Amino acid sequence: NAGVIQTPRHKVTGKGQEATLWCEPISGHSAVFWYRQTIVQGLEFLTYFRNQAPIDDSGMPKERFSAQMPNQSHSTLKIQSTQPQDSAVYLCASSFRGTQDTQYFGPGTRLLVL
Amino acid sequence: QEKVQQSPESLIVPEGAMVSLNCSFSDSASQSIWWYQQHPGKGPKALISIFSNGNKKEGRLTVYLNRASLHVSLHIKDSQPSDSAVYLCAVSKDYGSSGNKLIFGIGTLLSVKP
């Protein structure tokens, strides 16, 4: 089992450009979570899918962030018009059924906006 | 808004020492408490969780939960250099139809010196 796969591992964008981050959950897991991690704020919840349906996006900045899960094997987090304050490590996690099960994290995508 | 505070911020111990990490939370109605370990460049890895008051032991790890004092601690026996990592405390809080959400502390950086 390869665990949760995230690509790319590192991404550098210019201010105002778009960034798309990819996540492949563990096979058989029906829940996918996205988090953002910075030194100052720590690990913050962004959004959560169960059986590909969006359940909770309460942590998503409203205007420029969007997430999708078009099929059970991958999810994407898109950031439009990236800003320097979007620089962070974006982590994807999956769990077997939902929020009460152990969450298994991927290695993260380190995004740097110049 | 649930708040999770961890102490100390960092800790250096000699190999073989007992390590004690602390976490306080703000809502006694919180569900499970989780401890995660994060090595540099990796995603967090779940170590142990506890729901009921009291203690739980798994291998070299023991966790103590006191809901009345809103406090949980993690103890690592016979620490090893490979235990050097950031330890994250996470509180699982019920948000109704959205399910539970993990609220993370900033973490404690542990360094075990050979």
* Nearest-by-Cβ selection for A56 from B46, B92, B98: B98
Q: What is the pLDDT of residues B26-71, one digit of tens each?
A: 987 777 999 999 999 999 999 999 999 999 999 999 999 999 999 9
Report the C-alpha gap between B72 and B27 in whole angstroms.
13
CA B37 to chain centre: 8
A82 vs A100 pLDDT, higher one:
A82
Q: Compute the nearest-CA separation of A42 from chain B (Å).
A: 5
State the sign of the Cα–Cα–Cα–Cα dihedral A112, A45, A77, A104. Answer: positive
Q: Which strands, in side-by-side order, build the sheet including A19-24?
A: A5-7, A19-24, A74-79, A65-71
SS3 of B14-29: the string is ECCCCEEEEEEECCCC
End-to-end CA distance of chain A: 36
CA gyration radius, chain A: 13
B68 Rama class: left (phi>0) / alpha (psi -120 to 50) / beta: alpha
Residue type, position B59, single letter: G
* Nearest-by-Cβ selection for B104 from A42, A56, A104: A42
Phi, psi of A71 (to 5 degrees): -150, 175
A98-102, B42-46, B54-58, B95-99: segment of lowest average pLDDT: B95-99
Half-sphere exposure of A47 (CA within 13 A, CB side): 20
Report the C-alpha gap between B87 and B75 in whole angstroms.
11
Residue type, position B34, single letter: W
Predicted confidence at residue B56, as pLDDT, reads 97
pLDDT grade, residue A109 (50/70/90)? very high
Q: Which residues of A touch B90 (CB under 8 A)?
A: 43
